[in-house]
């Protein structure tokens, strides 16, 4: 069959395919492939494909984003900045985020959302939504795109969300944040949800005040109980406040709270999501680790529809829209879409909301105006719950040079009069005093608290109590997570800490990650298992050749030997970054 490939390019850069003619390697039955390619800003390439064949017609838009570029950012946006009823077009969300110095150069629609206008959760995205460090809607069982500076993850993250009464010490798991779940015993609502909590029979709610900033994750929020519990839902959501909504087993916890009492809220991601800035969810994994995922046979999967999806590899993220339900654009099923991302070179990919929601906008760098790149099936842009934006940061102002030079001279003169600094005392990864940690168990029950014991190093300590109970052939582990990883820019020879052992013989380790997410589990120098009783300074060597920054994520005890399963407790002093210690 004679094929015609028309190429329109404003740049001579081909990331993939290596040449325009390579597209017929995917569209093997196409009679004509029209390719338009342009650079929007450095690191962002737009590719437009119009494919015509006897059995297939496709209209596809691709944005290839170099997510390692320090000038480019991927970020989430939320319709009208709230969840319930906050639907808004992708254009409106992008325009609101666009500002001098950080321009939106591309955008697509993102997650599926509650489409029933009669539902109390109308407009709420079905999965996780994290925006600029704020947890807006908690996890559901959907794949997630997590964004960190220079990296993108596509996987199902793990998260710990808890409420602790500081009066009684009782802790309850929070089952959902800013959403209702049928299994929920305890749900948390913030002002991002809307004006008030959903009205429901059988719930008991209480207001907590003192939220000094948005609902940040990987930190603790210590809040104060306001007033008495109220039933039935519909509690107003005011700035600086959150509402705990209880049902079933959670009611007893809310009933135990009293006005003026304090409740500590924690929401924390487990690695590798600990330092993400933004996250959005989709409906299906298309690819994981370069392999196509098994998909179900529902019409959503097997039918040809307009599609929006995202794929990623180590260096770039690919935003893709496929038009459909039109005479010259048939759309794709999810199997075809997965194959297309493999062809693009993606390692991981997920499917976003499609159909009439499918939207892509791109910017004109001449004036930063956003224009519609695809052709929505309904003939117009649909209002949606959230969006994925691509932003480009650069200087749009020229700062006065005189002020800059004066400041530099003053700093230089001051430093010239200073004596060379001696190496300071070893820095301490000391989040014990600020309660920035949480426990987690696999085949284990765990509990942590500040203890009355002072380590030989003169620091306060944590009491870490555990029960390990794994079935034959499995490993039990009791974890102590830092709420947000500790970042080591300079790599020391080892980490160190005082440990009061219980003679249990369990494996004690520290877990770290390098910039490529290679995990390094650090064992103690002399004795990697806790056979000793009483205090001992334990050192954890860091292998040579590791480049920073290094993330320290958790300390843990592990055991696979059945005869050593059981309960115990150890005391831990602060973890030290140590360059010089030898004893």
pLDDT tens digits, residue range 166-179? 999 899 999 999 99
Residue 139 belongs to some domain of the structure: no
d(CA 91, CA 27): 31
Considering only CA atoms, which of 355, 322, 347, 335 is closest in space to residue 115? 355
Q: What residues make up the domain containing 191?
A: 159-269
Contacts of residue 529, Cβ cutoff 8 Å, sequence gap at least 6: 505, 506, 507, 508
Q: Quick one: CA torsion of 446, 215, 269, 338, rounded to 10 degrees?
A: 150
For residue 552, the cross-strand partners are: 486, 512
d(CA 193, CA 177): 9
Residue 95 belongs to some domain of the structure: no
Question: Do residues 556 and 477 touch, judged by C-beta distance below 8 A?
Answer: yes
d(CA 448, CA 480): 8
Residue 92 belongs to some domain of the structure: no
Q: Write down the pTM of the prediction.
A: 0.82
Considering only CA atoms, which of 375, 394, 397, 369 is closest in space to residue 105? 369
Q: In the chain, which residues have pLDDT < 50?
A: 1-2, 10-20, 397-435, 581-583
d(CA 505, CA 501): 9
Residue 538 belongs to some domain of the structure: yes
Examine the fold and report which residue of 269, 287, 311 is the final residue of a domain before the chain moves on: 269
> How do residues 297-312 score in pLDDT, each as one tens digit?
999 999 999 999 999 9
Residue 48 belongs to some domain of the structure: no
Distances in Å between the alpha carbon of 12 and those of 44, 67, 79, 543? 13, 20, 37, 43
Q: From the centroid of its chain, how far is CA 281?
A: 10
Looking at residue 13, its pLDDT comes to 37
Residue 469 belongs to some domain of the structure: yes
Residue 7 belongs to some domain of the structure: no
Q: Is the peptide bond before 178 cis (omega within 30 degrees of 0)?
A: no
Four-residue CA torsion sign, 80, 86, 90, 91 = negative
Question: Nearest 5°: phi and psi at 129?
Answer: -135, 115
Helix (H) or strand (E) holding 342: helix 334-344
| Burial class of residue 299, CB neighbours in 10 A (0-12, 13-18, 19+) | exposed
Annotate 213-250 with b (16+ C-beta within 10 A) or e (fewer): eebbbbbbbbbebeeebeeebebebeeebbbbbbbeeb
Examine the fold and report which residue of 269, 295, 317 is the final residue of a domain before the chain moves on: 269
Residue 298 belongs to some domain of the structure: no
Considering only CA atoms, which of 84, 95, 152 is closest in space to residue 121? 84
Looking at residue 263, its pLDDT comes to 96
d(CA 86, CA 79): 5
CATH number at residue 445: 2.60.120.260
The number of domains in the chain is 2
Examine the fold and report which residue of 234, 249, 269 is the final residue of a domain before the chain moves on: 269
Contacts of residue 222, Cβ cutoff 8 Å, sequence gap at least 6: 166, 210, 262, 263, 264, 265
Which 3 state secondary structure label does DSSP give 364?
strand
Helix (H) or strand (E) holding 401: helix 401-416
Tokens standing for residue 485: 């990883």
d(CA 71, CA 391): 8
């Amino acid at each position: 069959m004679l094929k015609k490939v028309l190429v329109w390019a404003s740049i001579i850069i081909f990331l993939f395919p290596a040449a325009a003619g390579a597209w017929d390697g995917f569209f093997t039955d196409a009679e004509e492939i029209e390719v338009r390619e342009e650079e929007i800003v450095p690191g962002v390439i737009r590719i437009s494909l119009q494919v015509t064949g006897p059995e297939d017609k496709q209209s596809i838009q691709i944005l290839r984003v170099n997510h390692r570029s320090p000038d480019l950012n991927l970020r989430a946006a939320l319709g009208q900045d709230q969840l319930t009823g906050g639907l808004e077009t992708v254009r409106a969300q992008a325009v609101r985020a666009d500002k001098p110095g950080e321009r939106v150069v591309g955008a697509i629609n993102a997650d599926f959302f509650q489409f029933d206008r009669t539902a109390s959760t109308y407009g709420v995205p079905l999965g996780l939504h994290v925006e600029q460090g704020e947890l807006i809607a908690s996890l559901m069982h959907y794949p997630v795109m997590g964004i960190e500076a220079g990296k993108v993850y596509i996987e199902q993250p793990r998260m710990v969300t808890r409420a602790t009464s500081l009066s009684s010490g009782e802790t309850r798991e929070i089952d959902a944040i800013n959403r209702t779940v049928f299994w929920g015993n305890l749900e948390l609502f913030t002002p991002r949800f809307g004006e008030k909590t959903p009205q429901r029979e059988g719930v008991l709610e209480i207001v907590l005040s003192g939220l000094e900033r948005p609902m940040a994750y990987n930190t603790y929020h210590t809040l104060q109980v306001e007033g008495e519990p109220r039933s039935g839902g519909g509690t107003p959501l005011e700035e600086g406040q959150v509402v705990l909504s209880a049902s079933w087993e959670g009611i007893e916890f809310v009933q135990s709270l009293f006005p003026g009492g304090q409740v500590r809220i924690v929401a924390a991601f487990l690695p590798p999501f600990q330092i993400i800035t933004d996250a959005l969810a989709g409906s299906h994994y298309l690819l994981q680790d370069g392999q196509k995922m098994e998909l179900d046979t529902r019409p959503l999967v097997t039918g040809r529809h307009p599609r929006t999806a995202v794929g990623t590899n180590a260096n770039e993220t690919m935003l893709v829209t496929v038009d459909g339900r039109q005479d010259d654009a048939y759309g794709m099923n999810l199997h075809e879409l997965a194959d297309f991302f493999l062809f693009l070179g993606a390692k991981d990919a997920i499917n976003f909301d499609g159909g009439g929601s499918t939207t892509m906008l791109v910017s004109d760098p001449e004036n930063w105006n956003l224009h519609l790149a695809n052709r929505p099936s309904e003939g117009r842009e649909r209002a949606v719950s959230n969006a994925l934006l691509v932003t480009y940061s650069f200087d749009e102002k020229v700062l006065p040079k005189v002020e800059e030079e004066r400041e530099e001279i003053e700093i230089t003169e001051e430093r010239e009069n200073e004596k060379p600094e001696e190496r300071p005392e070893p820095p301490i990864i000391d989040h014990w005093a600020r309660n920035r940690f949480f426990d987690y168990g696999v085949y284990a029950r765990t509990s942590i608290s500040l203890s009355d014991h002072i380590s030989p190093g003169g620091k306060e300590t944590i009491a870490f109590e555990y029960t390990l109970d794994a079935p034959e052939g499995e490993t039990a582990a009791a974890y102590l997570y830092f709420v947000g990883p500790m970042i080591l820019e300079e790599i020391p020879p080892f980490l160190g800490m005082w440990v009061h052992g219980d003679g249990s013989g369990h494996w004690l380790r520290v877990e770290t990650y390098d910039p490529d997410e290679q995990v390094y589990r650090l064992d103690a120098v002399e004795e990697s298992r806790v056979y000793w009783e009483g205090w001992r300074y334990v050192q954890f060597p860091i292998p040579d050749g590791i480049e920073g920054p290094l993330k320290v994520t958790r300390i843990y005890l592990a055991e696979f030997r059945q005869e050593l399963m059981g309960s115990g407790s150890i005391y831990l002093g602060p973890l030290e970054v140590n360059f010089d210690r030898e004893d």
